[in-house]
Chains A and B, each alone.
Chain A
Amino acid sequence: MKPMNNITEKSGGGLWQETWKRLKRDRAAMFGLVIIGILITVGVLAPLFAPYNPFKVTLEKRLLGPSLEHWLGTDHFGRDILSRIIYGARISLEVGIIASSISLLLGMLFGTVAGYYGGWIDNVIMRFTDIMFGFPALLFLIGIMAAFEPNLTTVFFAIGFVSWPRMARIMRGQVLSVKENDYVMANVALGQKDGPLILRHIIPNCLAPVIVAFTMGIASAIMAEASLSFLGLGAQPPTPSWGSMVNFGKDYLRSAPWLTMFPGIAIGLTVLGFNLFGDGLRDALDPTMELPTRAE
């Protein structure tokens, strides 16, 4: 039997259209979206926006204050800070999206399995997430980074690995409620196999809160990378990661505070953008939905 798609299509917009309508009216969320938009544009087209080469060392121009020539000044190697921040946007975006995707995939996989099958497998997975929650996030990350070579690839995986339990819990809760629906029962009765049933009917109906968590997850991943790089355990020089820029800038706090100030503002604005958008998305999707309200 062919599903009658045309009926749902005509009856006044699905969940996502409704959400977008509500989201458009939320000024804070739109402000967040604008920040994210600017970040993506600047990050992707970094070579077009950056006035200077972010890696070029010019020692005679070191530690210059903000001026018309160098809007945000230069660092201790005479590199243009604005250019480095623009290139740094790429790194933050990469970390945010890759680490958050890893956490999304792992979380959805384990959350779905736990919620759908229940029983001992659910118990094992959930007790494991309990244990993972037992570690303060940054300390756990530091421990992992200590065990492996500190570089950006390790950072992606470490953050993804530390943050999936949150995602798994949300997913599990969703699956538990979705699987009670009649359409799932109907599919089971029709002899639908688990795999297709989960992929076609369960997961699509669990996505709303997961997407909100994903947005918030990007913010916390960016913050985590910045913290690790600040401690010297993340991106290594000369990578223009915002966190490591603050780290190297702090030695010149007295004489050249702009080294520290501007990359920090970039981190804050980016995190703010994702948080505002995530908040708005949550309210627009379902005002009564219970969800984590911030990035760790």
Chain B
Amino acid sequence: MILPVAFSVLVPKFILSFFFPKPIEQMLTYIVKRTLLFIPVVWGVITLTFILMFVVPGDPVLSMVGERYDEATVEQLREDLHLDEPMYMQYGRFFWNLMHGDLGHSYITNRPVLDTILDKFPKTMLLAGAAMVVSIILGLSVGIVSSLKPYSWFDKGSMVIALGGISAPVFWVGLMLVLIFGIQLRWFPSSGYGGLAFLVLPAITLGTRSSAFLARVTRATMLEVKSKDFMRTAKAKGLPKWVIIVKHQFVNTLIPVITIIGVDFGSYLSGAVLTESIFGWPGIGRLALDSILKRDFPMIQGTVLVTALVFITVNFLVDLLYGVIDPRIKYE
């Protein structure tokens, strides 16, 4: 374990030192090192997903054929699905197929799992993207305005609402939005997939928690930065107020803010299961849930795996982004 990690740091550092000046070399070393740490995690996620489905009690074949079956069919099916092989063989096959983009076939529809996922995934991404927009607009603006006049009524009020937004269950927020804007006011459709109108309520539902959190973090960081020396210098130089706020105060809150946005991507993927099941949104969250209820194991495996891979990739990219935003960050 130590040896590969040591190598992952030293070897690229050595090679890169020939080609680049020091700061860029440091950054590239960091990127390579982070990438090399990313690979074992990907492997681990794949393996854990395999194990999870392997330890499932009950025979998937029996749940496929139903109540009435004859032994020959069951044996045949088991052989077709390679379920008669020992665990390491199945693991090897699983891994090999995965490397070739083959996640198996659904037990229910017999359609390739990957096709179904590729079909559903963009819809979840659309939802998550819209939620992210809601969260950034709402969270950042409320957080910034609150921080400009701390302890004002606006600040107190919005922070209480933000606390509520963090604590309220996603699914409940969704149902209340449906009740108010879908059923009572009839402003937006309460479920389904289609144009922009269909996106509004699910996006707000999914974005609520993270905008509330973002508002709190933005406010706290803005206030923290306010007391820094460079802020006093900026004021002393006689810069206009908005320049100080935007160029000096806000820019320095970006690191925690981007961390939150990145970390929240995972909560979007989790929240997507709840949101999609409320709004009948045909994304990957609902696919996961449906396939669990139908005990469609290849499909469960596929959705969990793909979602986890997207999640760790996003976290990985966020980590890399830090360096671009804040060159002071040490890559060692």
Residues of chain A having any CB pair with chain B under 8 Å: 119-120, 123-124, 127-128, 130-132, 134-140, 142-148, 219, 223, 226-227, 230-233, 243, 246, 250, 253-254, 257, 260-261, 264, 267-269, 271-272, 275-276, 293-294, 296
Contacts and interface: CB of A to CB of B under 8 A. Distances in A.
Given A131-B44, A226-B169, 9 more contacts: A127-B1, A127-B41, A134-B42, A136-B266, A143-B49, A146-B292, A147-B57, A246-B175, A264-B176
Contacts of A271: 167-169
A46 to B, nearest CB: 22
Contacts, number: 147
A147 B266 contact: no
A139 B55 contact: no
A253 B179 contact: yes
A268 B171 CA distance: 11
Interface stretch (B65-73, B91-99, B107-115, B306-314): B306-314
Interface string B276-315: 0110000001001100110100001001100110011000
Closest 7 CB pairs of A and B: A264-B172, A131-B44, A138-B270, A272-B167, A146-B292, A123-B1, A136-B269
Chief secondary structure at chain A's binding surface: helix
Interface in B1-49: 1-2, 5, 37, 40-42, 44-45, 48-49
Contacts of B178: 253
13 contacts: A127-B1, A128-B44, A136-B267, A136-B307, A139-B273, A144-B52, A146-B300, A230-B171, A268-B167, A271-B168, A271-B169, A275-B166, A296-B267
Contacts of B266: 136-137
A56 to B, nearest CB: 26
B274 A254 contact: no
Nearest to A269: B167
B166 A253 contact: no
A276 B163 contact: yes
Contacts of B269: 136, 139
B317 interface: no
B265 to A, nearest CB: 9
B138 to A, nearest CB: 17
A226 B175 CA distance: 14
A123 B5 CA distance: 10
B166 A250 contact: no
Contact of A134 (B44, B292, B295): B44
B170 interface: yes
B183 interface: yes
Contacts of B293: 232
A140 B1 CA distance: 26
B204 to A, nearest CB: 16
Contacts of A119: 2
A226 B163 CA distance: 19
Contact of A268 (B2, B172, B175, B300): B172
Contacts of A260: 172, 175-176, 179
Interface in B153-205: 163-164, 166-172, 175-176, 178-179, 183
A253 B267 CA distance: 26
